Amino acid sequence: MVARDDRRAVDPLIRVNRRQAYEAAQRRRALMVAGVSTVVVLAAAIILVPLAPGWPAVRASFFDASVFAETFPTLLQAFLIDVMIFAWSVPLILGLGLAIALARGARAAALFPLRIFGAIYVDVFRGIPVVLTIYLIGFGIPGLGLPRPWNSPYIWGTVALVLTYSAYVAEVLRSGIESVHASQRNAAICLGLSERDTMRYVILPQAIRRVVPANMNMLVALQKDVALLSFIGPVEILRQAGIYKSLLANFTPYVVAAVIFLLVTVPATRYADHLLNRDRNARS
């Protein structure tokens, strides 16, 4: 596309048709308007915000460059704990989410309790704020007087995250399973495949592929929610930032933490969006 435009620019003999000329003009106009409005907004922010009466104080306590440089390495290291907790939670969440999704779809009469359990599970853990689940499980279960290491907040914090997120993932997967057209199932059972094989080889592979983008978004949210475990003990990035805040009487560590989260979550969200768009394009 670009190459063709370039060729046209150097070679006037390649004629631009009316539609192309019109669209090129429109594009130029749109670019200019967007550029001007962006510059205006940015300039306003840069000029107006420092005019606020509290700005010098805010700048000193939130955007202190020396505090930023001092706390960044340690906070980055503390973030590794978040990444670790995230890393071992993900397979557990996907496994449990799949199990719950399948339980909810179980049709056999003998499996009815499983279905009920799946439905209640999803309702309960989607209905409670993550923080509450983390508090209740993270403080409640070790409170039973479990011996070390079974009272570790890492374990019970992970459990709380897994319980909550697998409920969401289960719902996403279930919607994926239901989005596979009934004719696929018919084709499979008409070949003599069992219900189980039909699910495993025909329905699930298609369903899982369809919900990858949605689950990517879920994982981005999980990465952020790992920070909530700071409330029950682990000295991960949010807690470490809190320690620095008290130590240095400065909020800049929180800004550092936010920046570190963005470094990870922005690329991940963009990637998820890219997958979603690709999916949409492939289907239309």
Q: Which residues bind other proteins (CB under 8 A)?
A: 183-184, 186-194, 197, 201-202, 205-206, 209
Dihedral angle at the C-alpha atoms of 215, 217, 218, 220, nearest 10 degrees? 130
With respect to other proteins, which residue has the nearer C-beta, 18 or 196?
196
Q: Which is nearer to other proteins, 66 or 186 (CB)?
A: 186
CB 107 → other proteins: shortest distance, Å? 15
Instruction: Tell me whether residue 190 or residue 249 sits nearer to other proteins (CB atom).
Output: 190
**Peptide bond connecting 53 to the previous residue in cis, omega within 30 degrees of 0:** no
Smallest distance from other proteins to CB 103, Å = 23
Least distance from C-beta 209 to other proteins, angstroms?
7
To the nearest 10 degrees (0 to 180), the angle between helices 153-179 and 130-140 is: 140
Do residues 251 and 245 make contact, with C-beta atoms less than 8 angstroms apart?
yes
CA–CA gap between residue 267 and residue 253 (Å, rounded)? 22
Name the minimum Å distance from CB 191 to other proteins: 4
CB 104 within 8 A of CB 122: yes
Cα 207 from Cα 225, distance rounded (Å):
26
Residues 185, 202 contacting (CB under 8 angstroms): yes
Q: Would you say the C-alpha torsion 7, 9, 13, 15 has a positive or negative sign? A: positive
Nearer to other proteins, 17 or 183 (CB): 183
- Pick 148 or 196: Cβ nearer other proteins: 196
State the nearest-atom distance from the C-beta of 188 to other proteins, in Å: 8
Provide the minimum distance between the beta carbon of 64 and other proteins in the complex, in angstroms, as a whole number: 54
Nearer to other proteins, 126 or 209 (CB): 209
Alpha helices by DSSP H, listed for the chain, are 2-10, 18-48, 55-62, 65-105, 112-127, 130-140, 153-179, 182-190, 195-197, 204-225, 237-248, 252-283
Nearer to other proteins, 61 or 206 (CB): 206
Minimal distance in Å, beta carbon 208 to other proteins?
10
